Structure formats: C-alpha cells, structure tokens
C-alpha cells in the first residue's frame, strides 16, 4: 500500500492510482474472518477500464469518467468545474445547502475528530486518502483560491492547491468514497460536515458537468421519472407483480391478502422501495398482511414514481431530488389521502419526511411519516396475536443511518423486537451512534467494475465486524441467525456482502426486514413465514 | 509607547467587534437551507433526547405540538462550550491541550470582565461597599489573568507540538495554523512575562486599566508588557478573519443546521421562506437540470427531464 500520500498528490499528472489497498493493511475482522488468508483477494480493474476511464484514485472505479482526448478537452472540463464551483457558493444556485457548506468551508480547524468516527477511514487501515478531511481540504483550498479569489496571503493561511484535470478526475471519484452517513458530522466539535462536502461535490459534478454514476442517474432517478420506478416497472407491471405477491403471501400465510390501489381518501398512502417488490416480495407482502389484519384504511398509488419511494437525488442532485419528491406528493394530493407512510427504505424516509419538508408549500405539504411508529402501535395494541417463540433465534438490528442518526427514529423498531424476538441483541455501537452498512449513498446499487470489492472490503467492513461480534456466542452453522435490516438499500448491501464472504453457507447468517419478523410471529399465520431460503 | 498601546487596544477591539458582526451578518443572511439535522437533538423531550429520538417516533406527529426543551439545550451547550464535550468524547488525545487553551481564553475573558467591573465600580461610586467590591474584584482579575495566560500558552504550545508531530494532522495543517498558535504563545508569554518582570514604578494592571479608559499617557509600562498588549490587540483584530472565529460559526452550525428540526407548517413564516427560496433562478449547466437562468427553482422542480427530452425528440422528427 502506498498510504503515505500528501494532499498535493491529488494533482499528480497521469492516471496512476494514488494508493493501492491490500488486505493485510485493512482493519482486522473477528472470526471467522480473523486472518488475512480468510479474506478475499481483490478483483483487479480490467485493462479496458483503465485505458478508457479515469482510474487515478485507488484500486477501483465508481464513476467511469471517459478520459479526455486532448489537453483542450481537459481544459474545458476544468473550466466547467470552476464554473460549478462558483455556483456551489452562490445562494441563487445553491440555496439548498449554501449555509452549512459555507460554515464547513470556513471553520474546520483540522482537529481530525471526524476521522475517528469514519468507518471507511478506520476500515481502510487509516489510509490518508479516506480521511474525511482529505476530500474536504481539497475543496476548501479550491474555495479560498478560486471562489474567494484569495492571493498569496490566503494560500499561506488556508493552503495552496494546483488545479488541473487529474485533480478534478480524482475528486469526482473521491466524492464516491463516502457513504454520506454523517457520523463524522455528528462528532465534529465545530459542527462542520464532511459528509455534506462529498454530497455537494457530487452535486457540482452532476448539475454542472453531467457526471454521475450510471446506476444512480440514468438507471436511477431518470428511469424513475420516465418509467415510474428505477426498477423499470411501469404502473401495469407493478400492479401485476404485487398481485402475484398477494397471491403468494395468501398461500404462504393462509390469510387472504389484497393490496388496494388508488383508493381515494384513504388514511394511508403506503410507498415502498419498489426494489422490495422485485427482490424481496415477502416484504411488501408482509406489509399488506399486517395492514389488512390491523384494519388500516390504506392504499398504494399507481401514479408515475409514486409506487417507488426511492429518491436517489438525495445523494447527488437537488433538481432530481425535488422532482421525485414532488411526484410523491402530487400522487398523495390526487388521491386525497390523509398521510403518506414510507416502507422499509432508509433514504426514502429522510428524503420525503425530512429534507423535502423545505420544498413543499400549500396543499402539497401532506403529512409524511415512517412506517415504524404505525407498526409499533399495531404490534403493541393487541389487535393481532403474536407468539414470540416463533422468533426464538438470535436476532440483531442494523440501524439505517437515514432513519436513525438523521431522522431520530430509534425506539419503535426496538420496542417491536423486544416484544417479538426473545433473543434480540444490540450491535455495539447502535442507535444514533450506529455505523453505516457500507452501501449507503448509492453504493449498494453500484456494481460496476470491481467497485463491489471496495464496498465489501472497505465501506462495509466496520458493519461486518459489528455483525460478527453481535453473533459471537453462536457463530456456527447449527444456529440460524437473523440480521434485521429495515431498509432496502442496507439489505442489498448485506445480501451481497454475506454472499461474498459466504457467511450464510458457513455461519447461517441470514438477513431480512422487520415486517417479516412481525408476520413470522403472528399466531394466525401458518408457521414458518421466514423460510431461511437464501435469496 | 503608552499611547501606541492604547491605540492598539482601541483598534483591536473595534476591528474584532466589526469583524465578528460582519461574520454574523454573512451567516444570518444566508437563505433558508434544506433540513439537515443530526440526532440526538437536545431540545427534544428529555426521554427522547437521552437516546436520540425525535417526534418522528410518534404516529401522526403533526397533531402534537413540537417540544421545546430549552433546559436540555442549555445543558449540552454549557458542556460543549466550557468542557469541549465532543472533543473529549471523540478525540481524547486532542482534548486536554485544546481544553487548556480554550479554558484559558474563557478565564481571560472573565479577567477582563472583572477588571472592567472593578473599574466601573471605582468610577461610579465611592461608598465603602463599592470600594470593598473593587478590592475584591481587582485581585480576582489579576489572579485570573495570570492563570489565563499560563493556560493559553501551555495549551497553545501543546497544540503546536501536536500539529507538528502528529502525522494525522499534517494534511490539514497550514502555515497559517502554525502562525496562529505561535501568535498566541508569543503574545501571552510577553503579557505574563512582561508583567511579572516589570520594573518598579511601572503601572499595575488596575492602573493600566484606568489609564486605558482615560487615555492617560502619563502611565508607564514595561516594553515587554507593552509589546504583549500590542500583539494581543492585533491578535484580537485578526481572529474574526480566520477559522478561529468558530465561536461564531458554532452557533449557526449547531442551532441553525444540526439542531434545526423546525416543521414547515402551512401558513407559517417558515413556509414563506420556503416559497421565497423556490423563486431563485439557478443557472446550472447540465442539460438534465434545465436551468436557463429564467426558470425558477420551483419551475425546474416541476419539470420532468425525460418527458422534455421525449418532446424534443418528437419535435425533431
């Protein structure tokens, strides 16, 4: 590993990677992955990728930025970057985050408290490149030099930096080496937000230069605005698929379930992450069953984008974020529902319940809430009978950052688990001090090149350590264990990471949502709703 | 020398206050930003604040009034400001030097306040009670000033050692940071050293304070102490123009960003601010944004780039 890099290396000419990570230098993992040999070797970036795209940061490539063909093209790209940089610090262009970004730029003391909180920095073996201030310090120097037009005195005070295309290309990639979990911001004594820095850099690259990973833009927010869902499902297809889910759930549970669509005046408009319908159909099925049995007057909407709660704009683009949020609200307004309830999707929670609160006015500002208080109230109300012994296996809970640290929904899920899962145990740390799953901010759906290797080895490593520690007293395959992840994105990360490390086959670590555990414990339901079949 | 010291103090104080005011206005005038809070929030209900919960934990939260737990907020603020709680919790290695330095500054402020109060008491009344108060305050100010300067120098020196020796701090340490710490060390060493070693017949702290208020040039002071005062005044003037003004920023980063969970309710002042922000006209260049400097933010948010692209394609056919 060439871990000893200096900030000035970011401008180093050429496309050679600044660092190389090796397993032996990463944060050690507990059993059964305690030795370096038990870890996987990294897949190398293909020569084709290295020849076509800018891969000058580390051992992976998330964004696939085509290499400029000439120095003129490089200069044009740098000019566009500078134009975007100005807009980032202009209230007309960036009212959405102008104040927190300005405060972060002007007051960091470089104390490195943030670094002690960052799971990526720690898991990488404390590699300088992944230090939260590394990225922020580059932007800070650019801000003082090109936005504030600081001269020599400013360079002396704030540090100088050489702007060229290699810097911009590396900075684009570096903005996709942060999960935006904002654990660093939580610990900062000043209140600076290095997670926001990564997010705002992504915004600059998207909104000014049109540079975004394909998975979250073309195949993400754009597809959602075109077809209705990032899964590509149109309204007709999603209705068909949900009908199939209803049929399957009815058969598995012995209780007739029928998902209502487009019911005007319903109390609740439920919006799922549509990925659940495709990848984990038992999740929307469990929701339908619980709401039906609890007698909730609910509906789903078949309006464009309103049957998919995802809002990838949250991670990279204000315009895309606002467009999707407005689609959700327009659908609710059209149906005249009393409230919107978000299903098991962390970023959708924060996007619609929290962030969108400051773009909605008048009758578009329809109340929005998490499904968790509703589910907790149903479970504890006594309306449905439960048999907790059906869940008598080790269960631990992952706290999705967007629901917990960034929204404050901490206890409802725990009240449910304490009531229904006799072997529930916490990870450490948990609640608002949790660690990200490693798939946050779009990483869970970014699978180009060898990027998954990076997210399993680095961004997901701290969470993997927590999971293994939570089940440390029952590690063997004789005891099936349930990792409860009430977030679609987190589940995607866990599915891929557990598969990668073969922890289902060897250790029987299973993952799933919260509603599945609720249905599994319902006495009126046929036993064995959780089938322990890997998917 | 004496007149130069007085002028340095007046100008230093004036520029400090003007610089702080300017910085406050810059941040106070920024437009309303999107919600971006981080939990725990200390002004939540004490039960929830303890584990980081929010009103979102309640079904139909909008039917209940928002809790305002000012006591909780004050408790966290006091712990944070006086004892640098975040640093102690998350970065223990840096906490002690930083605590010494900052606590020294607080004591210095308290010493100046005591001296000013003693001076004001002495000016306003000659009753025995007030005179007694002056006799109490003056030595407190004197003692506090000595403690403050010692802590500041020790803390700044320790921080300087950390900055230069700790590889973790290297990438985010600039020449300016080293200069700032040296500035504190030199200014406060001269202040305390100059005062302790002052020649007989030169002004005491009380006499100097009185002289500074009345611009009394007959006061004599040692050159080292005078140089320390000039440097400290220059340092004071310099602070608002550096990241050392984080004592101002911290109000905004914590109250206006990290703890801002105000709800946008219909008909509220907040809703008016949201509406005003939606009227901004951005100029971002990427085609999918569709910002041309004419469309408002609200208009951009209500367009669908995929539909617009489709319409353009059809028109081209």
Place of tokens 């059209």: A334
> Count of CB atoms within 10 A of residue A429's CB?
12
Peptide linkage before B64 cis (omega within 30 of 0)? no
Burial class (CB in 10 A: 0-12, 13-18, 19+), B227: buried
Q: How far is A504 from chain B (nearest CA, A)?
A: 32
B38 contact A CB<8A: yes
pTM for the whole thing?
A: 0.95
Q: How confident is the model at residue A245 (pLDDT cuts 50, 70, 90)?
A: very high
Which residue from A109, A191, A372 is facing B243, i.e. has the nearest CB?
A109
Query: What is the Cβ-side half-sphere exposure of residue A49, based on CA atoms within 13 angstroms?
Result: 16
Q: How far apart are CA B295 and CA B284, in angstroms?
A: 11
Q: How far apart are CA A358 and CA A505, in angstroms?
A: 46
Tell me how far CA of residue B79 lies from CA of B75, B85, B111, in angstroms: 6, 6, 21
Helix or strand run (H / E) with residue B291: none
CA of residue A477 relative to chain centroid, distance: 29
Measured CA to CA, the distance from residue A397 to residue A402 in angstroms comes to 15
Mutation target for B interface from A10, A91, A113: give the one with most B CBs within 10 A: A113
Residue A240 CA, chain-centre distance (Å), reads 28
Residue A2 has pLDDT above 50, yes or no: no
Distance from CA of A531 to the nearest CA of B (A): 30
Q: Does B247 touch chain A (CB under 8 A)?
A: no
Residues A445, A446, A447, A451, CA torsion sign: negative
Which A positions 358-397 lie with beta carbon below 8 A of chain B? Answer: 358-362, 365, 367, 369-370, 372-374, 377
- The ipTM value here is 0.96
Q: Do B208 and B146 touch, CB atoms closer than 8 A? A: no
The answer to whether residue B303 neighbours chain A at the CB level (below 8 Å) is yes
Across chain B, mean pLDDT equals 92
Q: Does B56 touch chain A (CB under 8 A)?
A: yes
Q: What's the pLDDT at B122? A: 75
In A195-275, at which residue ranges do the beta strands (DSSP E only) sit? 268-271
Q: Is the pLDDT score of B125 beyond 70?
A: no
What is the distance between the alpha carbons of residues B149 and B142, in angstroms, rounded to a whole number?
11
pLDDT band at A535 (very low <50, low <70, confident <90, very high): confident
- Distance (Å, whole) CA B181 – CA B155: 9
Two structure tokens written together for A245: 């889910």
Tell which of B19, B253, B261, B279 to mutate to test the A interface (max A CBs under 10 Å): B253
Segment among B3-17, B35-49, B205-219 with least mean pLDDT: B205-219
Query: Residue A319 and residue A212: Cα distance in Å, rounded?
Result: 14
Euclidean distance between CA atoms B77 and B72, whole angstroms:
9
Residue B124: the pLDDT is 66
- Using CA atoms, how far apart are residues B117 and B207, in angstroms rounded to an integer? 14
Distance set, CA A183 to CA A115, A179, A188, A491 (Å): 10, 10, 9, 20
Q: What is the mean pLDDT of the segment spanning B76-105?
A: 95
- State how beta strands A481-484 and A395-397 pair: parallel
Q: What confidence tier does B85 reach under pLDDT thresholds 50, 70, 90? A: very high
Report CA torsion sign: A290, A293, A297, A301. Answer: positive
Query: Quick one: what percent of chain B has pLDDT higher than 90?
Result: 74
The tens digit of pLDDT for each residue in A20-78 reads 999 999 999 999 999 888 888 889 999 999 999 999 999 999 999 999 999 999 999 99
Residue B204 belongs to what H/E stretch?
none
- Whether residue A358 and residue B277 make contact (CB cut-off 8 A), yes or no, is yes
**What is the rounded distance in angstroms from the CA atom of residue B20 to the CA atom of residue B15?**
8
Q: What CA–CA distance (Å, rounded) separates A271 from B99?
A: 49
Q: Which of residues 256-315 of A touch B (CB under 8 A)?
A: none
pLDDT, mean over chain A: 96
Interface residue of B285, B286, B290, B291 to substitute, partner A, most A CBs within 10 Å? B286
Provide the β-strand partners of residue A397: A484
Residues A284, A272 contacting (CB under 8 angstroms):
yes
Q: Which residue has the tokens 């950390």?
A: B162
Higher-pLDDT residue of B311 and A361 is A361
Q: Structure tokens of A248?
A: 């399957």
Alpha-carbon Rg for chain A, nearest whole angstrom, is 23
Q: What is the pLDDT of residues A84-126, one digit of tens each?
A: 999 999 999 999 999 999 999 999 999 999 999 999 999 999 9
User: Pairing state of beta strands A298-299 and A268-271?
Assistant: parallel
In the predicted model, is pLDDT for residue B62 greater than 70?
yes
In the stretch 149-168 of chain A, residues with CB closer than 8 A to chain B read: 156-159
Which residue of A lies nearest to B254 if distances are taken between CA atoms?
Answer: A191
- A residues 203-232 lying closer than 8 A (beta carbon) to B: 206-210, 217, 222, 225-226
Please report the pLDDT score of residue A39 as a whole number: 87
Of the candidates A84, A486, A427, the residue with the CA atom closest to the CA atom of residue A280:
A486
Q: For residue A415, what is the nearest residue in chain B, using CA coordinates? A: B57
Query: Taking the CB of residue B116, how many other CB atoms lie within 10 A of it?
Result: 14
- Provide the strand spans (E) within A227-288: 268-271
| pLDDT tens per residue, range A179-204 | 999 999 999 999 999 999 999 999 99
- The verdict on B207 touching A (C-beta cutoff 8 Å) is no
| Residue A216, both tokens | 């979250």
In the structure, what pLDDT confidence band is assigned to residue B130 with cuts at 50, 70 and 90? Answer: low
Taking an 8 Å cut-off on Cβ atoms, the answer to whether B271 and A365 are in contact is yes
Chain A contact for B254 (CB, 8 A cutoff): yes
Per DSSP, the three-state class of A531 is: coil
CA gap A428, A433 in Å, rounded:
9
Q: Considering CB atoms only, which of A107, A133, A210 is closest to B286?
A: A210
> Could you tell me which of A464, A520, A513 has the C-alpha nearest to residue A488?
A513
Tokens at residue A525, please?
A: 């339901």
Q: What angle do CA A155, A156, A157 make, to 5 degrees?
A: 90
- For the cut 80, the answer to whether the pLDDT of residue B316 exceeds it is no
> Quick check: B282 contacting A, CB < 8 Å?
yes
Closest CA to B259 of B89, B67, B30: B67
Per CB-CB distance under 8 Å, the chain B contacts of A106 are 243, 249
- State whether B38 and A99 contact (CB < 8 Å): no
* Rounded average pLDDT over B173-186: 95
Which pLDDT tens digit goes with each residue over A284-338? 999 999 999 999 999 999 999 999 999 999 999 999 999 999 999 999 999 999 9
Quick one: how far is CA A73 from the chain centroid?
A: 33
Q: Give the nearest partner residue to A99 out of B57, B177, B256, using CB atoms.
A: B256
Of B285, B261, B31, which is closest to residue A95 (Cα–Cα)? Answer: B31
Instruction: For chains A and B, count residue pairs whose Cβ atoms are closer than 8 Å.
Output: 278
Inter-CA distances, A211 with A357, A460, B127, B293, Å: 27, 25, 75, 21
Residue A81: strand, helix, or coil: helix
State mean pLDDT over A409-414: 98
- DSSP-H helix ranges across A398-501: 412-420, 451-454, 461-470, 488-500
Annotate B210-226 with DSSP letters as a single string: HHHHHT-TT----HHHH
pLDDT at A1: 44
Q: DSSP for B121-167, please give it.
A: HHHH---HHHHHHHHHHHHHHHHHHHHHHHHHHHHHHHHHHHHHH-H
Contact yes or no for A295/A383 (Cβ under 8 A): yes
Task: Provide the pLDDT confidence category of residue B144 given band limits of 50, 70 and 90.
Answer: very high
Run of H or E residues at B35:
none
């Amino acid at each position: 590993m060439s871990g000893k890099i200096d900030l000035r290396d970011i401008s180093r000419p050429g496309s050679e990677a600044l660092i190389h990570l090796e397993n032996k230098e990463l944060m050690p993992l507990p059993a059964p992955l305690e030795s370096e040999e038990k870890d996987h070797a990294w897949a190398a970036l293909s020569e084709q990728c290295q020849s076509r795209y800018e891969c000058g940061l580390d051992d992976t490539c998330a964004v696939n930025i085509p290499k400029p063909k000439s120095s003129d093209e490089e200069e044009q790209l740098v000019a566009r970057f500078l134009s975007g940089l100005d807009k980032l610090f202009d209230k007309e262009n960036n009212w959405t985050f102008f104040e927190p970004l300005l405060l972060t730029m002007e007051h960091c003391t470089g104390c490195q408290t943030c670094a002690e909180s960052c799971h990526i920095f720690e898991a990488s073996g404390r590699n300088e490149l992944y230090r939260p201030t590394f990225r922020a310090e580059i932007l800070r120097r650019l801000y003082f030099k090109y936005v504030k037009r600081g001269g020599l005195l400013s360079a002396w005070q704030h540090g100088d930096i050489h702007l060229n295309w290699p810097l911009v290309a590396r900075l684009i990639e570096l903005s996709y080496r942060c999960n935006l979990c904002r654990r660093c911001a939580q610990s900062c004594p000043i209140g600076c937000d290095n997670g926001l820095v990564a997010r705002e850099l992504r915004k600059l690259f998207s909104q000014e230069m049109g540079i975004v990973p394909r998975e979250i833009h073309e195949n993400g927010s754009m597809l959602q605005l075109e077809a209705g869902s990032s899964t590509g499902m149109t309204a007709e297809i999603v209705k068909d698929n949900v009908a199939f889910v209803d049929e399957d759930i009815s058969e598995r549970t012995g209780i007739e379930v029928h998902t209502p669509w487009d019911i005007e005046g319903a109390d609740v408009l439920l919006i799922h992450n549509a990925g659940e319908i495709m990848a984990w159909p038992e999740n929307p099925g469990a929701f339908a069953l619980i709401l039906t049995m609890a007698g909730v007057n609910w509906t789903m909407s078949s309006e464009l984008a309103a049957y998919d709660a995802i809002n990838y704009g949250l991670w990279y683009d204000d315009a895309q974020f606002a467009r999707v949020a407005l689609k959700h609200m327009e659908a609710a307004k059209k149906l005249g529902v009393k409230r919107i309830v978000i299903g098991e999707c962390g970023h959708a929670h924060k996007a619609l319940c929290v962030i969108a609160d400051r773009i909605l006015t008048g009758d578009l500002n329809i109340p929005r809430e998490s499904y968790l208080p509703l589910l907790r109230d149903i479970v504890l109300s006594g309306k449905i009978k439960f048999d907790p012994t059906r869940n008598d296996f080790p269960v631990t809970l992952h706290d999705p950052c967007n629901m917990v640290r960034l929204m404050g929904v901490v206890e409802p899920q725990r009240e449910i688990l304490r009531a229904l899962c006799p072997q529930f145990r916490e990870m450490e740390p948990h609640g608002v001090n949790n660690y990200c799953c490693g798939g946050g901010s779009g990483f869970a759906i970014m699978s180009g090149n060898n990027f998954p290797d990076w997210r399993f080895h680095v961004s997901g490593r701290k969470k993997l350590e927590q999971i293994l520690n939570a089940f440390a007293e029952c590690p063997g395959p004789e005891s099936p264990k349930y990792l409860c992840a009430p977030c679609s994105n987190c589940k995607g990360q866990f599915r891929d990471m557990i598969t990668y490390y073969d922890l289902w086959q060897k250790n029987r670590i299973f993952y799933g949502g919260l509603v599945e555990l609720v249905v599994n414990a319902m006495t009126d339901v046929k036993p064995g709703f959780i089938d322990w079949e890997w998917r | 020398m004496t007149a130069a010291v007085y002028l340095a103090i007046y100008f230093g104080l004036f520029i400090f206050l003007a610089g702080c005011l300017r910085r406050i206005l810059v941040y106070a005038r920024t437009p309303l930003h999107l919600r971006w809070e981080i939990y725990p929030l200390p002004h939540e209900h004490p039960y929830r604040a303890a584990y980081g919960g929010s009103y979102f934990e309640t079904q139909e939260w909008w039917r209940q009034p928002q809790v305002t737990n000012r006591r909780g907020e004050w408790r966290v603020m006091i712990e944070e400001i006086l004892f640098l709680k975040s640093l102690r919790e998350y970065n223990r290695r840096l906490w002690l030097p930083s605590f010494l330095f900052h606590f020294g500054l607080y004591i210095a402020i308290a010493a100046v306040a005591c001296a000013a109060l003693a001076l004001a008491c002495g000016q306003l009344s000659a009753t025995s009670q007030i005179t007694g108060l002056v006799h109490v305050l003056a030595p407190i100010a004197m003692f506090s000033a000595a403690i403050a300067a010692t802590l500041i120098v020790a803390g700044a020196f320790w921080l300087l050692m950390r900055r230069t020796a700790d590889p973790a701090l290297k990438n985010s340490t600039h020449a300016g940071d080293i200069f700032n710490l040296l500035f504190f060390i030199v200014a406060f060493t001269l202040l305390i050293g100059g005062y302790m070693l002052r020649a007989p017949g030169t002004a005491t702290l009380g006499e100097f304070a009185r002289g500074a208020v009345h611009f009394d040039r007959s006061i004599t002071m040692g050159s080292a102490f005078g140089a320390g005062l000039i440097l400290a005044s220059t340092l004071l003037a310099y602070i608002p123009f550096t990241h050392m003004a984080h004592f101002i920023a911290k109000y905004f980063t914590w109250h206006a960003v990290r703890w801002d969970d105000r709800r946008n309710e219909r008909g509220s002042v907040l809703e008016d601010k949201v509406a005003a922000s939606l009227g901004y006209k951005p100029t971002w260049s990427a085609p999918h944004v569709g910002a041309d400097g004419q469309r408002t933010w609200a208009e951009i948010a209500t367009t669908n780039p995929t539909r617009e692209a489709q319409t353009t394609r059809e028109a081209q056919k």
